[in-house]
Homo-oligomer: A and B are copies of this chain.
Amino acid sequence: MTNTPNDKVNLVDKLQQFTEHWSPRIVGELNGQHVKLAKLEGEFPWHHHQHEDELFLVLDGHLTIHLRDRTVELDEGEFFIVPRGVEHKPVADVETHVMLLEPTSTLNTGNVRNDLTVDEPEWL
């Protein structure tokens, strides 16, 4: 069911509506930004977003964000903002649920195009 801007959003309810990994769904929009939910498991390729900062908030599970010079470990209730232009590689050893915040223009694979690229994320 499509969310209208007038609805409240229950994160757990929305997460129950899809199972695919690395396939963010849009659940809200404000000020040119999308709020997205994603289920992550395994490794995602290195990429960056040239003009967009990207926030990862872990709702459940554990996410490792590899940067070229260090690694950020995120547990439930922790977020990290990957600044624009910074290469990153998210890895989830167990299925991990995240809330993402990024401009509506953001492509999930950033500067890279591959099988995981989602050109038009679905609204939930």
A28 interfacial contact with B, CB 8 Å? yes
Interface of A is mostly: strand
Let me know if A31 and B102 touch, CB within 8 A.
yes
Residues from chain B with a CB closer than 8 A to the CB of A55 are 28, 30, 35
Total chain A interface residues with beta-carbon distance under 8 A = 30
A53 at the interface (CB under 8 A from B): yes
Whether a CB of chain B sits under 8 angstroms from the CB of A40 is no
Contact B9 A78 (CB under 8 A): yes
Q: Which residues of B contact A102 (CB under 8 A)?
A: 30-31
Query: Knowing A30-B54, A53-B30 touch, does A8 contact B74 (C-beta < 8 A)?
Result: yes
Which 7 pairs between the two chains have the least Cβ-Cβ distance?
A: A30-B53, A8-B80, A11-B77, A10-B78, A30-B81, A31-B53, A9-B79
